[in-house]
Structure 1
Amino acid sequence: MVMNRRGAGNLPAETTTLIGRSAELDRLRHMCERSRLVTVTGPGGVGKSRLTLRAAAELAPGFADGVWLVTLSPLEMGASLPYAIAEALLVVNQSTDPMIEVVARYLADRRLLLVWDTCEHLAEACAEVAEQLLAAAPGLRILATSRRVLGVPSEEVLLLEPLPIPAAAHWDGDGDAAALLVERAAAVAPGFAVTEDNRQAVVRICRKLDGLPLAIELAAARLGEWSPQQLATRLGDRFAVLDAGEAGYAADPPWHQGLRTAIGWSHQWCSPAERLLWARASVFAGSFSPAAARRVCADAGLPADRIPALLAALTDKSILTWVPTGDGERYRMLDTVREYGAFWLAHLGQEHELRCRHRDHYRELAAAGEAAWFGPDQFLWFDRMSAELDNLRAALEFALATPDDHCAAELAGVLWFVWYACGHMQEGRYYLDRALAADTGASRARVHALAVVSLLTASQGDSETGRLQAEECLRQAEKHGDVRGLQLGQALLLAAAMVRGDQEQATALTRDLSGRISDELTLTYHVYCLCAISVHIIAGRFGEAVTLLERMRHLCEQHGEQWLRAYADVFRAQAELALGRPLVAQAHARAALEVKYRMHDNAGVAIALDVLGPAALAVGQARHAAYLLGLAHQVWETVGRRQAGIPAWVAARRDCEDRARQALGEQAYLGAYAAGYGTDLDKGVAAAISGPDARSTAPDVR
């Protein structure tokens, strides 16, 4: 995942050839050109996603702000849809406004195509969100895939049919179901070709599978072992087809017979252990790691040491897709294949047990991530938790649906570093609010959850609610004799005071906590230090601020920690700028920017840019300062609350804007500002880190 860039997008690279569909592709492109909401419908396995992604890629040049894919299949609740859209766009909501409103404002002046893949289970929510976004953003278009229409009045629908099946005598080998079979067969059996001997069998296979692309691809995976004649015969075996009513199957999901044939047949030809892993792995949302498969799926009946070989076997059979990542490898199931596995998991009576294992694994993973967060593997944990967001959401939803020993509050609270440090504040509040409402019993998990929701709320600018939550955290901590909870609650009262601009109370709380917070890299230390440093800087006590900053930076260096250290660099830059040392301020702010950009911390990026702007102005680079202000504006738009709502930061930003205007003149200022606001973010951040010489712009005007 990369931070949003104007004119970019996140469409995946194509890994296979699109066979046929030229007429459907032309029709879909024309529909998208005349309609703002187009839905591709059709049965499972007919190729809706494949066609839609190709059409989106071909339409991309017409969208100045990019084409962005939102995968909906891992979502269980319609309320999660705005968060999924924001995640795809890398829009961070650091305000208290509903996420749908923040996304709508972000899209309002953009020309952009959203691709929503797999909408059928959230059709009503998709319809509601589509109407809201299309009304708010005239330049927005939505291209969706769904097994059923969304039901929006302005929606235009393309019903995608299976690929045509040729008659054996007239088949020319191009653009239809048989051509797809041949193409995919050649991938597993190099040199595979249609001959007079196997032509009839190839066409028979396609007819048996109703011309459905997914069914054909599953069948083609076996042509490395069997001849077309053998495959056609085996597909005709009545035991390979799971008919309605057989084994309790009631034709649900409503697939074409051809898809049921192919998947049921693939299931039969798996070994018992492969079938069991297929069923159990269906509990994962999105993708999963081999380690997660071992932890969740293995037991005495499916030993952990067999999991790697079974994953490889299911990949060879096209049941799983292997996905290489920077952190190793992951596996993914197509939605239709997952549905079949989930059906069998329920039929085996193991669904609840596997969901519990899944929840417990991700609770343990979250706890391990929290314990390691303030350490040298921070980037690794950022990438790991980003990859696991779909599974974390699924674990939270299950925990909320099955209250058990404060599990939902515990999991939502321990994930503070995902919500707060990795750009998911609003979603964190969504889960924490639900967990706290569902579990009102006193517990240490509740203390921590209250602390985290207070931190998120204050960080979003709602200081009053944050204060009330911190006070409740303190009351609960006192009941339990939770010393750490008491200290964190007091630090959060300081945070709420600072955000609302109550310098008197913030100063008093800073003095009260001074010397009581130990020099350990904890959430309490983080909250206290950043608030105390800000209080000192605002009050002009720069010496005290620098002393505390140096202690914090030294502690971070000892532990190889970078996220908190980058904030220390930002605040040090503010202090150095106030002390009249803009070159030193630039060095610190650039160091912070580099780390914050790597971690996709939009708020941290914007704060660093807001320091670099006045620093550039102070060294006579007024045009570059205006450029940086425009660039910061672009990033603040993805955060939802500019300058985090902190009055002193808002005032500093306005002062820099006024002085840059005076230095350049209105027209030159607006031109440089617009250049920063409209630039590709990668290039803009590179220019901010390297200085004005990194940009091909006119010389600076002082």
Structure 2
Amino acid sequence: MAAERRVGNLPEESNRLVGRRAELAQVTRACRRHRLVTVTGVGGVGKTRLARRAADELQPGFGDGAWWMELSPLSAGMEALPYAVAEVLPLADQSTRPMLEVIAEYLAGREALLVWNTCEHLVEDCREAAETLLAAAPGLRILATSRRPLGLPAEEVLTLDPLPVPGTDDDGAADAVVLLADRAAQAVPGFAVTDANRAELAALCRRLEGLPLALELAAARLREMPVTELNKRLADRYAVLGTTDGGTYGVRPRWHQALRTAIGWSHELCTPAERLLWARLSVFAGSFDAEAARQVCADARLPGEEVPALLGALADKSILTWVPTGGGERYRMLDTIREFGTFWLHELGEEAALRCRHRAYFLTLARAGDAAWLGPHQFAWYDRMADEHDNLRAALEFCLAEPAGHAALELAGALWFFWYACGFAREGRHYLDRALAADIAPSGARTQALWAAGLAAVGLGDAESAAARSEEGLAAAEQQGDDALDPALGAFVCAVALRGDLAAMEAVADRIFALPQKDDVLTLAPLFGLQVRSHALISAGEPAKALLHLERLRTLCDRHGERWTRAFGDYFQAQAELALGRPDAAQHHAREALRIKHRLHDRMGIGLLMDTLAVATGAAGQAERAAWLLGLAHQVWDTLGAPQMGQPQWVAARQACERQARTALGDHGYRLAFDTGHATDLDTGIAEALVPPDPAPHTPAQPGATG
């Protein structure tokens, strides 16, 4: 049965779909009958637009959602594809198993639609991924757009043609004319089809052969000239292009001639500065903001103060599109237009230099995030890095493609906070392992990459790898002084805590607190040391002593406006309060920690805190709400690709909470509350969980094995 709520991440439609009724019906019908449908066609023919509308119509029939993936930013094939799929679903990558296997297991019992947009540069990788996922998940459908089929036997291929154009004796409302007029009205307020311009509009549509992207580029030019002049100029250019096939254009992207006409002419009508910026912007993967464009693209030929106005001019010409985000204005270039820019960047001899500048900018950004992470702007840094995820991947792949891998070590290591704190531990380990293998010479960058890899392994629950990487990082740091030693010890104490060796945890914590302390700077080692010492004391049955260290941790964090580590402190304080028989206080601290973990999209942290909140709620005698919270928590664990985690005593507490709720509600009542939580939209459920329940008389239940 179709879900009542619409689940997924389909992007907003920026403008209306013109025509395509028959094609839309064909695609939706094919997706209901076939498990893999690929819409093919030349660049600019409207594959993305059609797939977006088809997905919107199909979405209500998929109870587990319709999920949109932009593949054009990916350049590394199967190296990056599974992580990108997991990120979109959203499926946290905190598992040590192959990512594609985790995705297949997650989708196995679900009814979902994946929409893969722009597959042509990753056809082999998409073919392998589709084959694996479709074999594992009977309820899965994949809708792909590509200039060529994926090549699987079960694939249904639908070829999309340009829009119908009016005949030479017909200047009526063919779909191409309707599209041109619609987009022209957006560019020129008040524009309308009249008896005076109808024939010229029809001729323009015929000249551009009904190709939607070409028509949209032409419509943007109507700001500057009447349709008669536009038609004449395009006619002249079309004649030139018709005589040059196999010449200069032979080395350009193989496009429909009408598209070459429209894009090439748009390029010629740009100012020299606009053309240069267009070429240089092609190095960005996905979207970018004005500051990144200025830093990467500006030089003596293209002054930085001119870049914002040039971006606006390119957007007005439909070369760039605006991307709405909560963190400010960003831009994106359509893939076909990016290809043209890449071609000209190569012709200018600037491609290598611009890719180096792109890498340098994002390395500088990562270093700034590293330096500022333990401070008051963590949410802003998370948002910034999430926005730049595609560009960070592209920069890492460029680093790793070079013979020397030192830059890859620097970039992957500087991003430790994004990998470990923001839910990308598996992808982080992937890049850190590759970077460490590429450059084995001792260096400060290698030391940081080693302890960062140790933290990534901690995030994955991989105790063996966490110990190996963090020990190697600590040994290297011991040769480099206290500044290098501090974060390395912080990573090492986390790896020790993962093994559950209480004596070793205390010993490493003692070593941390023997380091010189800096009151004006917050560093990893004391923060992690206080967490681990508190954890050890709670596990040893001394929660009251743990609260003293947690108070110190809270004071440190509050002094510097730090919230990520403060959330860990609240998590452990909730455990201590439970052990002391104070479930109301435990609920308060669990909610405070959950609020921060949710804001940082840390799914492992969300899962642990939902479990903790459920146990505390059950201990307060609220059995129905506890069962609902357990169901909501189970939904989180489903997305992690790993079993529920936690030290043995916390696992036991969770199991005791379930038993107590079943006893209080009966099997049927428990299952009803649990299933309701499991089916609740996660963000909606977390928002509800963050609201304290109304106090009610109750007989407190025992919290279970929390000590």
Name the TM tier (shorter chain): over 0.9
Task: Name 1:160's counterpart in structure 2.
Answer: 160
Query: Structure 2 vs 1, CA of residues 524 and 292 (structure 1 numbering), >3 Å: closer, same or farther?
Result: same
Q: What CA distance in whole angstroms lies between the structure 2 residues aligned with 1:236 and 1:408?
A: 49
1:70 counterpart = 2:69: yes
5+ residue gaps, structure 1: none
Cα-to-partner distance string for 1:101-145 (whole Å, 9 max, x where unaligned) = 222222122211111100110011101111111111111111110
Residue 230 of structure 1: CA displacement? 0.4
Q: What is aligned with 1:57? A: 56
Letter in 1 for 2:94: Q
- Give the structure 1 partner of residue 524 of structure 2: 523
2:690 partner SS? helix
Equivalent AA in structure 2 for residue 663 of structure 1: A
Give per-residue Cα distances to partners, 1:581-633, cap 9 Å, x unaligned. Answer: 11111111111111211221211211111111111111110111111111111
Q: What are the within-5 Å matches in structure 2 for residues 256-275 of structure 1?
A: 256-275=256-275
CA shift at 1:525, angstroms? 3.2
For 2:167 and 2:496, the matched residues in 1 are separated by 77
Q: Give the direction of change, closer, same or farther, for the CA distance of 1:193–1:686 in structure 2 (3 Å limit).
A: closer
User: In the superposition, relative to structure 1, how do residues 159 and 47 fare at CA in structure 2: closer, same or farther (>3 Å)?
Assistant: same
Partner of 1:190: 189
CA distance in 2, matches of 1:540, 1:191: 75
> Residues 430 and 236 of structure 1: is their aligned pair in 2 closer, same or farther, counting only changes over 3 Å?
same
Contact 2:67 2:89 in 1 (8 A): yes
Partners of 1:433 and 1:510 lie apart in 2 by 27
After superposing the two structures, state which structure 1 stretch, 394-403 or 236-245, moved more: 236-245
* Pairs within 5 Å for 1:654-673: 654-673=655-674
Change (3 A) 1:344 1:560: same
Aligned amino acid, residue 91 of structure 1: L
C-alpha change, 1:118 and 1:332, in structure 2 (3 Å) is: same
Question: What's the counterpart of residue 352 of structure 1?
Answer: 352
Distance 2:240 2:297 in 1: 26
Once the two structures are superposed, residues 435-491 of structure 1 have per-residue CA deviations (whole angstroms, 9 ceiling, x without a partner) of 01111111110000000001111221111121111221123223x424333343344
Deviations 1:378-411 (A, max 9, x none): 1111111110001111111111112457111010
Residues in 2 aligned to 1:215 and 1:367: alpha-carbon distance in whole angstroms: 42
8 Å CA contact 1:241–1:260 kept in 2: the answer is no
Question: Equivalences for 1:297-336 in 2 at 5 Å?
Answer: 297-336=297-336
Seen in structure 2, the aligned counterparts of structure 1 residues 142 and 133 have a Cα distance that, compared at 3 Å, is: same
Deviation string for 1:404-447 (max 9, x for gaps)?
Answer: 57111010000011111111111101110110111111111000
- 1:575 is aligned to 576
Kept in 2, the 8 Å contact 1:500–1:646? The answer is no
The equivalent of 2:94 in structure 1 is 94
Rounded Cα–Cα distance in structure 2 between residues aligned with 1:679 and 1:241: 60
Counterpart of 1:227 in structure 2 is 226
In 1, Cα distance between equivalents of 2:284 and 2:564: 30
The aligned amino acid for 2:348 is: L
1:430 aligns with 2:430: yes
The one-letter code of the counterpart of 1:339 is: E
Structure 1 residues 249 and 535, CA gap change in structure 2 (3 angstroms): farther
**Corresponding residue of 1:411:** 411
Q: How does 1:135-146 map to 2 (within 5 A)?
A: 135-146=135-146
Q: Which residue of 2 aligns with 1:254?
A: 254
Change (3 A) 1:461 1:240: farther
Give the TM-score normalised by structure 2: 0.94
- Preserved CA contact (<8 Å) 2:486 2:523: no
Alignment pair present for 1:395 and 2:395: yes
CA RMSD of aligned residues (A): 2.1
Residue identity matched to 2:163: L
Q: Secondary structure at the match of 2:144?
A: strand
Indicate the larger mover: 654-663 or 113-122.
654-663
- Tell me, yes or no, if the aligned pair for 2:405 and 2:439 is still in contact at 8 Å: no
Q: Secondary structure at the match of 1:328?
A: coil
Does the Cα contact within 8 Å between 2:409 and 2:432 map onto a contact in 1?
Answer: yes
Contact 2:315 2:321 survives alignment (8 Å): yes
Count of aligned pairs between the two proteins: 692
Q: 1:239 to 1:54 in 2, by over 3 A?
A: closer
Segment drifting more, 129-138 vs 656-665: 656-665
Secondary structure in 2 aligned to 1:93?
A: coil
Change (3 A) 1:312 1:137: same
Structure 1 Cα separation of the partners of residues 339 and 700 of structure 2: 63
1:613-657 CA distances to partner (integer Å, 9 max, x unpaired)? Answer: 111111110111111111111112222334445433323322322
- With 555-564 and 255-264 compared, the bigger mean Cα shift is at 555-564
Alignment check: 8 A CA contact 1:52 1:145 kept: yes
Residue 36 in 1 paired to residue 35 in 2?
yes
Give, in angstroms, the shift of residue 19 of structure 1: 0.7
> CA distance change for structure 1 residues 16 and 540 in 2, over 3 Å: closer, same or farther?
same
- SS state at 1:144 partner: strand
- The alpha carbon displacement at 1:84 in A equals 0.7
Query: Is 1:680 paired with 2:676?
Result: no
Instruction: Say if 1:223 and 1:240 are closer, same or farther in 2 by CA, change over 3 A.
Output: farther
Is 1:128–2:128 an aligned residue pair?
A: yes
State the shift of 1:50 in Å.
0.1
Further displaced range: 24-33 or 508-517: 508-517
**More contact order relative to length (CA 8 Å, sep ≥ 6):** 1
Superposed displacement of residue 544, structure 1: 2.9
- Give the AA of the match of 1:665: G
TM-score in terms of structure 1 length: 0.95
Residue 616 of structure 2 aligns to which amino acid in structure 1?
A
Taking a change above 3 Å as real, the CA distance of residues 526 and 136 of structure 1, as seen in their structure-2 partners, is: farther
Moved more, 514-523 or 450-459: 514-523
Judged with a 3 Å threshold, the aligned counterparts in structure 2 of structure 1 residues 238 and 170 are, in CA distance, closer, same or farther, namely closer
CA change 1:239–1:17 in 2 (3 A) is closer
Shift in CA distance, 247/324, structure 1 to aligned 2, threshold 3 Å: farther
Equivalent pair of 2:405/2:435 in contact (CA under 8 Å):
no
1:341 CA drift (Å): 0.2
Q: Supply the distance in 2 between the matched residues of 1:679 and 1:238 (Cα, whole angstroms).
A: 57
Is contact 1:583–1:615 with CA below 8 Å preserved after alignment? yes
Q: 1:686 to 1:100 in 2, by over 3 A?
A: same
How far does residue 253 in structure 1 lie from its aligned partner after superposition? 1.8
C-alpha change, 1:631 and 1:30, in structure 2 (3 Å) is same
> In the alignment, is the contact (CA less than 8 A) between 1:6 and 1:681 conserved in 2?
no
Q: Could you tell me whether the CA contact under 8 Å between 1:613 and 1:629 is conserved in 2?
A: yes
In the other structure, the counterpart of 2:600 is 599
Q: Structure 2: how far apart are the matches of 1:86 and 1:241?
A: 47
Aligned to 1:626: 627
**For 1:308, what is the secondary structure of its paired residue?**
helix
Question: Matched residues in 2 for 1:555 and 1:682: separation?
Answer: 30
Answer whether contact 1:106 1:637 (CA < 8 A) is retained: yes
Q: Which blocks of at least 5 consecutive residues in structure 2 are unaligned?
A: 702-707
Kept after mapping to 2: 8 A contact 1:245/1:251: no
Aligned equivalents of 1:131 and 1:455: distance in 2? Answer: 33
Quick one: percent identity of the two aligned structures?
A: 56
The aligned counterpart of 2:498 is 499
Distance 1:187 1:482 in 2: 62
The answer for the alignment partner of 2:704 in structure 1 is none
Q: Is the 8 A contact 2:419 2:427 kept in 1?
A: yes
Deviations 1:514-550, CA, capped at 9 Å, x for gaps: 4437365223334333322222211112133211111
> Using the alignment, how far apart are the partners of 1:531 and 1:323 within structure 2?
42
Change (3 A) 1:228 1:700: farther
Secondary structure in structure 2 of the residue aligned to 1:92: coil
Separation in 1 of the partners of 2:247 and 2:352?
A: 20
Deviates more, 1:232-241 or 1:329-338: 232-241
| Contact 2:487–2:525 (8 Å) recurs in 1 | yes
Aligned to 1:555: 556
Residue in 1 aligned with 2:705?
none
**Equivalent-residue separation in structure 2 for 1:667 and 1:298 (angstroms):** 66
Amino acid of the residue matched to residue 119 of structure 1? Answer: C
1:210 deviates by 1.7
